[in-house]
């Protein structure tokens, strides 16, 4: 099993290109109500980035690079934000000879079939990373963290593409965890844009 490796130059280039894709594909201005209930002058739909071929590749590259010194047993997170990220991580890790099993956490236990809340590859004792595309206030991630813990797995930390810096850090800290994000909000949206200059 060979380690996942990205050079400093590749890391900087991948992050810069991913920022361009996020702004091109995912950023819109107007008046929006977020899942948290908060209102915003802008909306960042990161599913348009994580389902974009190059976007998915860059997200997986940058997240796997951050895991290389402490490789988990599995990674996954709440549907639907984590779904394409988990798929990209599984594929990229396999291609690089260090396969990382992934899983998806439903918002509620399904009432048919195997009646599972966590789908995919997760077992008792696993050291796992929780994934999501964006964190605002952290509610869905907390539910996923608790669902994973109920199955006897140990959550190491939370990883996201974007931290909106809207209180999620404190909520996740209350679970004894930290957030590792590729971007903070100011990396993607300027202060003037945040204040509604493009609304």
Six-digit token string for 94: 């396999």
Is residue 41 assigned to a domain? yes
Q: Please tell me the total count of domains within the chain.
A: 1
What secondary structure letter does DSSP report for 122? -
Q: Kindly state whether residue 15 falls inside one of the protein's structural domains.
A: yes
Structural domain of residue 114, as residue ranges?
8-194
pLDDT confidence of residue 2: 62
Identify whether the C-beta of residue 77 lies closer than 8 Å to the C-beta of residue 179. no
The model carries a pTM of 0.91
User: Does residue 106 lie in a domain region?
Assistant: yes
Q: Report the first-to-last Cα separation within the chain, whole angstroms.
A: 50
Report residue 199's pLDDT band, with 50, 70 and 90 as the boundaries: very low
On whether residue 98 sits in a domain, the answer given is yes
> Would 54 be classed as within a structural domain?
yes
Position 181 in a domain = yes
CATH number for the domain that contains residue 72: 3.40.50.2020
Q: Is residue 35 part of a domain?
A: yes
The per-residue pLDDT for range 9-46, each reduced to its tens digit, is 999 999 999 999 999 999 999 988 876 677 888 999 99
Residue 120 has pLDDT above 70, yes or no: yes
Asked if residue 137 is part of any domain, the answer here is yes
Q: For 59-81, what is the mean pLDDT?
A: 96
Nearest-CA neighbor of 130 among 162, 95, 156, 167? 156
């Amino acid at each position: 099993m060979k380690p996942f490796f990205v050079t400093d130059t590749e890391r900087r280039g991948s992050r810069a290109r991913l920022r361009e894709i996020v702004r091109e594909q995912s950023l819109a201005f107007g008046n929006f109500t977020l899942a948290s209930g908060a209102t915003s002058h802008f909306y960042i739909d990161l599913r348009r980035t994580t389902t974009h071929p190059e976007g998915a590749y860059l997200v997986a590259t940058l997240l796997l690079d951050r895991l290389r010194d402490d490789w988990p047993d599995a990674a996954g997170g709440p549907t639907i934000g984590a779904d394409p990220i988990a798929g990209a991580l599984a594929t990229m890790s396999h291609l690089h000879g260090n396969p990382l099993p992934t899983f998806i956490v439903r918002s509620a236990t399904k009432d048919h079939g195997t009646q599972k809340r966590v789908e995919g590859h997760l077992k008792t004792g696993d050291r796992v990373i929780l994934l999501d595309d964006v964190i605002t206030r952290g509610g869905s991630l907390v539910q996923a963290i608790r669902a994973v813990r109920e199955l006897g797995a140990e959550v190491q930390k939370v990883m996201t593409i974007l931290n909106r810096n809207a209180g999620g850090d404190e909520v996740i800290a209350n679970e004894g965890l930290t957030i590792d994000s590729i971007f903070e909000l100011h990396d993607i949206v300027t202060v003037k844009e945040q204040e509604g200059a493009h609304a």
